[in-house]
Amino acid sequence: MNPFLDVLLRTHPQAEPCLRSWYEFAHEVALAPHRVTEAALGHIRLKWWADAAEEVLDASTAPRAHPAVTAWDQALNTSGHRPAPGLVRAFIDAHALDLEKQPYADFEALRADATARWGNLLRVGLQLLEVGDEGHHHAANHVGAAFGLISSLYGVGLAAAQGRQGHPAFSLSPEKTAAQDRRQAGEHTLGQARYHLQRTQELLPKPDKRALSVLRLGLAASALLDEAERCGADPLALPSVERVSQTFILRLTWARMRGTYA
């Protein structure tokens, strides 16, 4: 599971029973394209997870046997509340881009992908918490876009090591890009991520307390943003996401005292 999501769950225990099994299911989906060496096999794996999701979301169907599938099904049976299948399917389908070497034609394609992955992940979380109004879901899309954009910057080096393009501003060999150009592309990405965080607070200045366990992924985006700025916005100079997450609890504690989420 993403380390920031894990911290959020541990610091919001009232929401953990509803959210943890979904996040663990989603983590398995995210790993699926990276467990194969051929794109065709990756599409088969994603189809398997899409079918598994359909089974879980249909209360009258017995889902296939897999720990993540079983756990999510049991959690939904306990809550008696299931999220919209379309959001879950859109989240799964977004990961097909991980099977392409150069998935992003331009920055807008990257933004759309960030929203499809992280925005839908969070929106499903809101539905699991029975927060369904439009304002919260718009805010979740912006938080997801911000987190996805900044995460793509942290993933440039890893993607290159896997023979993939993780960001449209960088080639398959980002080390060949001049350091100044890398920093400029990084600064643009940071600026766009910060724009999305600002929009969340404009759209939703006072969120429902039930939604904070989900929307506070915006604080994780801010933590990654601040660290990237400290490192000069060069994606090849950034620490690991796991390292940044180790200090997240301090930021989260302060934000909880203030009631903020981004």
What number of other Cβ atoms are within 10 A of residue 40's Cβ?
Answer: 8
The residue length of the chain stands at 262
Kindly report the average pLDDT of the chain as a whole number: 96
Position 50, amino acid: A
pLDDT at 254: 87
**Using one digit for the tens of pLDDT, what is the confidence trace for 123-165?**
999 999 999 999 999 999 999 999 999 999 999 999 999 999 9
- All structural domains of the chain with their residue ranges: 3-258
Q: Which of 111, 126, 144 is nearest to 2 (CA)?
A: 144
Helix, strand and coil in the chain, % to nearest 5:
75, 0, 25
pLDDT at 260: 85
Cα distance between residue 9 and residue 224, in whole Å: 19
The CATH code of the domain at 3-258 is: 1.10.600.10
Question: Do 117 and 140 meet the contact criterion of CB atoms below 8 Å apart?
Answer: no
Cα distance between residue 43 and residue 197, in whole Å: 33
DSSP structural state of residue 116 = I
Q: Give the number of C-alpha atoms closer than 13 A to the C-alpha of residue 234, restricted to the C-beta side.
A: 12
Q: Mean pLDDT across the stretch 76-92?
A: 96
At how many degrees (to 10) do helices 134-154 and 120-128 cross? Answer: 140
Question: Do 139 and 118 meet the contact criterion of CB atoms below 8 Å apart?
Answer: no
pLDDT at 74: 97
| pLDDT at position 205 over 90 | yes
| pLDDT at position 195 over 90 | yes
